[in-house]
Amino acid sequence: MNEFTSRIPDATVRRLSLYLRFLEDFERLGVTSVASVALAERGGTTAAQVRKDLSHLGSYGKRGLGYSVAELTGVLRGVLGLDCVWRVALLGAGRIGTALFEYEPFRRRGFHITTVIDNDPCKVGTGLGSIRIRGQHELEDALCEDRIDLVIVAVPAPVAQGLVDRVVAAGVKAVLNYAPVQLRLPADVALRNVSMLVELESLSYALARHRT
């Protein structure tokens, strides 16, 4: 089992992301070695699950001892593609867009927002941090000039699909969508949807059941 021959199931990738966070915490605390059961406790899962997940990357554990925190941290960063800088464009400088822009952990993880697009004439030309907000007509130029790898969509639902079509045409292969629409795009472009409402509504379902 290694990272070149097999592709890792999505559910596992998401957990790897969590494990990496825990490992960094352990590293900060000076812990050098960690067992699957410790990661499991932290992550609200089981030791078997952790070992199965990590087995997708190869054999980095030592029987009787656990995993080297430093080594595993490095492996995870590599597998998740966090050992380089990704250039990110933000579409939409409204409430959500601004909050995302100012979210520190993105930058720490190597996601650099180098481009911000908005179609509000009042905003275009003004700055968000040190970045100048550019208008929608500049989209293709900006994606190309800034060599954007990944786009975050934080515009109102009705305009999202149109913009994303242009983004895909410009060759971008990854989209993180905060707009409350189901975007349609080619199979070779990776898409993740984040819906605040879906999460809240599934809680609402749980609450409603609880009452009965």
Residues engaged in binding a copy of itself (CB under 8 A): 4, 7-8, 10, 13-14, 16-18, 20-21, 42-44, 79-82, 86, 95-96, 98-100, 102-103, 105-106, 109-111, 149-150, 173-176, 180, 182, 184, 188, 190, 192, 194-210, 212
- Could you say which of 4, 5, 11, 188 contacts DNA (CB under 7 A)? 11
Give phi and psi for 70, each to the nearest 5: -65, -45
Minimal distance in Å, beta carbon 67 to a copy of itself?
18
Task: Please identify, using beta-carbon distances, which residue of 33 and 98 lies nearer to DNA.
Answer: 33
Task: Please identify, using beta-carbon distances, which residue of 4 and 130 lies nearer to a copy of itself.
Answer: 4
22: number of Cβ within 10 Å: 19
Both tokens assigned to 40: 């499991």
For tokens 């993180």, name the residue. Answer: 176
Both tokens assigned to 54: 């990590």
Got the DSSP string for 129-188? Answer: TTEEEE-GGGHHHHHHHTT--EEEE-S-HHHHHHHHHHHHHTT--EEEE-SSS-----TT
Residue 208 binding target from DNA, a copy of itself, none, CB below 5 to 8 Å by type = a copy of itself
Those residues whose C-beta lies under 8 Å from the C-beta of residue 66, and which sit 6 or more positions away, are 33, 34, 35, 36, 38
Task: Please identify, using beta-carbon distances, which residue of 41 and 138 lies nearer to DNA.
Answer: 41
Task: Please identify, using beta-carbon distances, which residue of 17 and 59 lies nearer to DNA.
Answer: 59
Site string for DNA, 52-81 (x = CB under 7 A): x-xx---xxxxxxxxx--------------
Residue 130 binding target from DNA, a copy of itself, none, CB below 5 to 8 Å by type = none
Site string for DNA, 27-56 (x = CB under 7 A): --------xxx-------xxxxx-xx-xx-
Minimal distance in Å, beta carbon 80 to DNA?
17
Provide the β-strand partners of residue 87: 112
* 80 three-class SS: helix
Provide the β-strand partners of residue 53: none
CA distance 156 to 151: 15
Task: Return residues touching DNA (CB under 7 A).
Answer: 1, 9-12, 35-37, 45-49, 51-52, 54-55, 59-67
